[in-house]
Amino acid sequence: MDTVRDYAERFGKYGFWLLFKRMRREGITWNHKRVYRIYKLLRLSMRRKGKRRVPSRVREPLIQPDLKNSSWSMDFMSDSLQSGQRFRTPNILDDFNREVLHFEIGTSLPSLRVVRVLDKLKEWRGLPGQIRVDNGPEFIAEPLRLWAEANGVRILFIQPGKPMQNAYVERFNKTYRTEVLDYYSFLSINEVREITQEWMEDYNHHRPPAV
């Protein structure tokens, strides 16, 4: 009974059959009649009212890492082109030296695309022990959770409404907005990517350290 309840909590939007297939896929071989009997006993077929709340988060201290590639920070930003079309970018930083690892600029950036970005970084950079994020939908979604478990990466969630708990990337976001997003008027997504790439190279390799 506890197993079915746990799955229902993890996958609250699933109906019975999708939940059952998920359990089978993850190695639970109970037949559908048994699972459905427990499903009904727990009254899981009743429509849940209200939105699902973000789980409570424990405050994690923001510690300066001693080693490169041991802790990353990740956060989304958004802006618009001259046409009014919105675009977004997840910015990824190495907390040790504030090196920018990647920008992924596009109009649609779901959790699966975030996972693809992290896999690309894994190929040439390796992965950290932890990544600090907020509670945005892309970060709390199932694809990122499964990816983190498979790769041995701990996802550190800041507390809702506490952006300074992710201060390294928040400070970087302010610099990027001031020097790029608010400085230029963009005509296309490709233009945003080109200017951002040039700025990133300068930021990582030529920018004088802050006083």
In CATH terms, the fold of domain 71-205 is Nucleotidyltransferase; domain 5 (3.30.420)
Q: So where are the chain's domains?
A: 2-41, 71-205
Q: What is the pLDDT of residues 32-71, one digit of tens each?
A: 888 788 777 776 654 455 555 555 566 666 778 889 999 9
Residue pair 128/70 in contact by the 8 Å Cβ criterion: yes
| Cα–Cα distance measured from residue 20 to residue 143, given in angstroms and rounded to the nearest whole number | 19
pLDDT tens-digit map of 116-164: 999 999 999 999 999 999 988 889 888 999 999 999 999 999 988 888 8
Using an 8 Å Cβ cutoff, are 128 and 206 in contact? no
What contacts 143, CB < 8 A, 6 or more positions away?
Answer: 111, 112, 114, 115
pTM of the model: 0.70
